[in-house]
Amino acid sequence: MKKKYAINDVSLFQGLPEEQLEALSDIALKRVFQKGEEIFQAGDVAHGFYVVITGRIKVYRAALSGKEQIIHIWGPGDALGEVPMFQGSTFPASAQALDASELLFFPREAFRQLIRNEPDLGMNMIAMLSGRLRILVSQVATLSLKEVPQRLAAYLMLLFNSQEDKQTLQLDLAKGEIASYLGTIQETLSRTLKKMSEQGIIEVKGRQIRLLDIDRLEGLASGLKQL
Amino acid sequence: MKKKYAINDVSLFQGLPEEQLEALSDIALKRVFQKGEEIFQAGDVAHGFYVVITGRIKVYRAALSGKEQIIHIWGPGDALGEVPMFQGSTFPASAQALDASELLFFPREAFRQLIRNEPDLGMNMIAMLSGRLRILVSQVATLSLKEVPQRLAAYLMLLFNSQEDKQTLQLDLAKGEIASYLGTIQETLSRTLKKMSEQGIIEVKGRQIRLLDIDRLEGLASGLKQL
DNA sequence: CAAAAGCCCTGACCTAAATCAAATATCATG
DNA sequence: CATGATATTTGATTTAGGTCAGGGCTTTTG
């Protein structure tokens, strides 16, 4: 079904079990907006929040100069207005459709009701959000504190630790994607992998990586050793 | 009563019925920290979370090299250390008092008991966490994509936009702290401020900054222009 | 008020990693 | 299988910003 499919891609609901996604999709209302149409205004009471299915939504505030200040452009999978909605306050900014767009609307009362009847859903959402915060905190720290070889080593350790096979690893992303996840570029990643190979820490065959020296890799990841 | 009064200003507890606030205040413990005192360390097992009543708290991660990345600065009404309440058992980052501060401590089990009975508290928790998720997502993007002048410009714009006075700004943090928040070091921040001054964008007098060319600053922040 | 401590600025230097350019390898598709 | 498209590697070069060192300011405290 269309709505449920869309809900899987909402970052706010990531990782929730199937049945809870279904419950959520039951209370969602589809709303269609024309290009240029207002979705809500700053100061409006947030009686619900929106999730973008298709199109792009501009969230903005009128700056003092009269000029408008764009705060975000949200696209498919992004939620808007969820913070004031959960809090029961007003929208701090206005939103307008940049394209013809389809959104899902989650009414506050229905949502409350849902959580009341199914406390697990609330707790699950809280747990999922907490888990993602933990990851993001590490990512922020990693980006500014560690150099590329450390970041890469930490990434590889993570992959190795989250699978059975402690010898060989199949990369799930293109190397360019991994580079960008690690906050660097393809070329640098390639050179770093090469250095690790030269030092006998790993062996790289396309997307397949064989772990040769786990201690060394761990040392690199923790920042105690260097390439 | 002191504790209950303080609890009213906590955004996490907003909109809750009187009796819930009382229940919350019953389980809260007041803790006082000196300026510079550690509240918890990344990796410590968490037995509860904190809410700031007075003072400012720095949440950060430190590298072995000594360099630190500030993740948040929280003030009165903000919560900290809530991630391990619902996911995992340890704090993902460290926290230290920037001023002499009073915090309320909410023990893990007692709080989880409360949230189970009060769906609105769950909603507020979701609101807080989803707000934080946004902050961190944009912090990751900022750190990995933007260069220091852009990050600094964006930071200054944020400060200017969140206050009345659009001319002069009083920095609330030591410059070294700002550097660490922006993912760089004191020296680089100092040089960047100097460049901006030389170009007539701002004027720096100690902790006071006067905005001379808002368009230029905005251009820098958005990455369209360069220093 | 004087001394100490912390904070901030500046210069010289260095290095990690980005950029630019090009070659090669891998993959997908008619 | 040929052909283009996409991904990856490699080398040469540049540069942002980190490191180290020294000095001036400012704030705190006895």
Q: Please enumerate, as own/partner, the contacts of A74-78 that have beta carbons within 8 Å and a separation of 24 or more.
A: A76/A9, A76/A52, A77/A9, A77/A10, A77/A11, A77/A51, A77/A52, A78/A11, A78/A51, A78/A52
Q: Is the pLDDT of residue B205 over 60?
A: yes
Whether A119 sits inside 8 A of B123 (CB atoms) is: no
Q: How far off is chain B from A120, nearest CA to CA, in Å?
A: 9
pLDDT digits over B103-143, tens only?
999 999 999 999 988 888 998 999 899 889 989 988 998 89
Strands (E), chain B: 29-33, 38-40, 48-54, 57-62, 68-74, 79-80, 94-97, 101-107, 168-170, 202-205, 208-211
Q: Which residues of A touch B129 (CB under 8 A)?
A: 126, 129-130, 133
pLDDT digits over A173-206, tens only?
899 989 989 999 999 999 999 999 999 999 999 9
Q: Is the pLDDT of residue A3 over 70?
A: no
Give the C-alpha separation, B176 to B192, whole Å: 13
pLDDT-derived band of residue A18, with 50, 70 and 90 as boundaries? confident
Average pLDDT on B158-181 reads: 90
Q: Is the pLDDT of residue A166 over 90?
A: no
- Mean residue pLDDT of chain B comes to 91
Whether A132 sits inside 8 A of B133 (CB atoms) is: yes
By C-alpha distance, which of A64, A94, A92 is closest to B164?
Answer: A64
Give the C-alpha separation, A24 to A13, whole Å: 9
Given this model, what pLDDT does residue B91 score?
A: 97
Higher pLDDT, A32 or B4: A32
Give the C-alpha separation, B152 to B194, whole Å: 12
pLDDT-derived band of residue B3, with 50, 70 and 90 as boundaries? low
Q: In terms of CA atoms, which chain A residue is nearest residue B129?
A: A129
pLDDT-derived band of residue B2, with 50, 70 and 90 as boundaries? low
Give the C-alpha separation, B50 to B145, whole Å: 32
Stated as kind and residue range, the H or E segment containing A68 is: strand A68-74
Average pLDDT on B216-226 reads: 89
A145 touches strand D (CB under 7 A): no
> Residue B51 pairs with which residues in a beta bridge?
B79, B104
Cβ partners under 8 Å of residue A17, min gap 6: A124
Given this model, what pLDDT does residue A67 score?
A: 63
Give the C-alpha separation, A115 to A105, whole Å: 16
- Count of beta carbons in the 10 Å neighbourhood of residue B205: 8
Maximum Cα interatomic distance, chain A, rounded to a whole number of Å = 61
pLDDT-derived band of residue A162, with 50, 70 and 90 as boundaries? confident
pTM for the predicted model, two decimal places: 0.88
Q: Report the SS3 class of residue B49.
A: strand
A201 touches strand D (CB under 7 A): no
Stated as kind and residue range, the H or E segment containing A21 is: helix A18-27
Q: Is the pLDDT of residue B220 over 90?
A: yes
